[in-house]
């Protein structure tokens, strides 16, 4: 016999899916508001790809960057994006409809409420720009889901460690593009994490998968007495050590591969920032075991990344990261409870979630060894 929820959803769907009800609801004073919101949400899902491509065209065509400096005319924006008059008009109208830009007078444009959120956010711009790889991989989503691809897709090439055999870790050219993207997008993550944890209570911090060192640099600003270690693939550690050196932050580089190597000891805080979700369960679990082995009882592991089951942001983990990580070749977004169970299995004595202001950007888990 069907459960209560199944019966309720079945009844609700039979009502909402009924064309006669839809027609009545669109005219009824009481139901009109709800049916309009529902129709708009469905339309947004149907049309979402054109919205993404409109934003992509505005970023890639230089329109967003130009409007960060102030108002501009259609002609100037069209010339920047190398578009004819009609095409310029079409793109600007689309962008205005989405709130990316806004008309502020006779043929004069400024950033709109959505577009202005990109101002001073090179990380978001870099994320948007690399999305053409994702769009290419998603051209045939069923084939992607069925695993029918004969060769790795565009994102797998961008993140070579996802399907790598270890050789990618020595290759500067292979790791440089994703390291730059991570460094550009790290400030919005670090801003959340440094407000969620008191780093000053620790002596030595090791950032595992620390990339170009942007997270270490942010922590150094709030806890200058901390000593830092950076563990990453050899070619990435070289980039991180150099960039931290240029910022005057002292760091001990630990080139290595956590698929094969152990995690260095002697640190009372280890951080995994945007690391676990990149890896399938076996590797993620073995990494937690290695991190636990590197810590003394009472030491701390801090995990920060977007997580599944985030209220109001379910689509971010399950729809966006669900497909992104599939296209990349490994990993999945996990709920805090799933990560907590993995921590317990790895031997950690306890864990708790620390609140962040923007959980859609990152959530934070602190675990005690």
Which residues contact ligand SAM by CB under 6 A? 161, 175, 182, 186, 189, 209-211, 214-215, 232-233, 236, 257-259, 273-275, 278
CB of 211 to ligand SAM, least distance (A): 3
CB of 322 to ligand SAM, least distance (A): 16
Give the list of residues 6+ apart from residue 360 with CB closer than 8 angstroms, or none: 306, 310, 312, 313, 316
Radius of gyration in angstroms for the set of CA atoms belonging to the chain, rounded to a whole number: 24
DSSP assignments along 30-89, one per residue = TTHHHHHHHHHHHHHHHHHHHHHHHHHHHHHTTHHHHHTTS-EEHHHHHHHTT--HHHHH
CB nearer to ligand SAM: pick between 258 and 324? 258
Dihedral of alpha carbons 243, 206, 165, 160, sign: negative
State how far the Cα of 22 lies from the Cα of 35, in Å rounded to an integer: 8
Q: Which of 198, 197, 214, 193 is nearest to 358 (CA)?
A: 193
CB of 319 to ligand SAM, least distance (A): 19
Give the list of residues 6+ apart from residue 313 with CB closer than 8 angstroms, or none: 306, 359, 360
Pairing of strands 251-255, 269-273: unpaired
**Beta strands per DSSP E along the chain:** 72-73, 101-105, 108-111, 204-208, 227-232, 251-255, 269-273, 300-305, 350-354, 363-368
CB of 287 to ligand SAM, least distance (A): 8
277 is catalytic: yes
Residue showing the smallest CB distance to ligand SAM in the complex: 209
Pairing of strands 251-255, 227-232: parallel
CB of 216 to ligand SAM, least distance (A): 9
**Beta-carbon neighbour count of residue 270 at 10 Å?**
27
CB of 4 to ligand SAM, least distance (A): 42
CB nearer to ligand SAM: pick between 102 and 278? 278
CB nearer to ligand SAM: pick between 137 and 232? 232
State how far the Cα of 302 lies from the Cα of 359, in Å rounded to an integer: 15
CB nearer to ligand SAM: pick between 303 and 343? 303
CB nearer to ligand SAM: pick between 53 and 286? 286
Residues 366 and 352 sit within 8 Å (Cβ to Cβ): yes
CB of 153 to ligand SAM, least distance (A): 17
CB nearer to ligand SAM: pick between 109 and 178? 178
State how far the Cα of 275 lies from the Cα of 168, in Å rounded to an integer: 17
Q: Which of 131, 202, 254, 277 is catalytic?
A: 277
Provide, for the chain, the percentages of residues in helix, strand and coil under a 3-state DSSP scheme, each rounded to the nearest 5: 55, 15, 30
Catalytic residues, by residue number, are 277
């Amino acid at each position: 016999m069907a459960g209560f929820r199944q019966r309720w959803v079945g009844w609700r769907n039979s009502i909402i899916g009924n064309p006669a009800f839809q027609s009545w609801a669109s005219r009824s004073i009481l139901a009109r508001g709800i049916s309009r919101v529902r129709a708009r949400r469905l339309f947004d899902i149907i049309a979402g790809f054109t919205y993404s491509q409109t934003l992509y065209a505005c970023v890639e065509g230089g329109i967003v960057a130009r409007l960060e400096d102030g108002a501009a005319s259609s002609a100037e924006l069209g010339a920047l994006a190398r578009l004819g008059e009609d095409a310029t008009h079409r793109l600007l109208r689309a962008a205005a409809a989405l709130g990316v830009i806004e008309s502020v007078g006779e043929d004069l444009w400024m950033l709109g409420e959505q577009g202005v959120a990109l101002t001073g956010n090179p990380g978001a711009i870099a994320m948007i720009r690399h999305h053409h790889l994702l769009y290419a991989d998603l051209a045939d989503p069923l084939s992607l889901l069925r695993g029918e691809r004969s060769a790795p897709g565009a994102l797998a090439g961008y993140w070579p460690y996802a399907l790598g055999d270890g050789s990618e870790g020595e290759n500067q050219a292979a790791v440089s593009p994703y390291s730059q993207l991570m460094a550009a997008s790290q400030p919005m993550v670090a801003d959340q994490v440094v407000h969620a944890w008191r780093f000053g209570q620790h002596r030595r911090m090791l950032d595992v998968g620390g990339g170009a060192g942007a997270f270490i640099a942010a922590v150094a600003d709030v806890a200058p007495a901390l000593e830092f270690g950076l563990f990453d693939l050899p070619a990435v550690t070289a980039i991180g050590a150099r960039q931290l050196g240029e910022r005057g932050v002292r760091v001990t580089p630990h080139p290595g591969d956590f698929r094969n190597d152990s995690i260095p000891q002697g640190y009372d805080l280890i951080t995994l920032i945007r690391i676990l979700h990149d890896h399938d369960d076996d590797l993620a679990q073995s990494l937690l075991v290695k991190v636990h082995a590197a810590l003394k009882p009472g030491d701390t592991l801090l995990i920060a990344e977007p997580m599944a089951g985030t209220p109001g942001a379910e689509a971010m983990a399950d729809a966006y990261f669900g497909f992104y990580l599939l296209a990349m070749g490994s990993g999945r977004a996990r709920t805090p409870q799933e990560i907590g169970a993995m921590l317990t299995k790895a031997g950690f004595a306890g864990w708790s979630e620390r609140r962040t202001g923007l959980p859609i950007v990152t959530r934070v888990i602190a675990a005690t060894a």
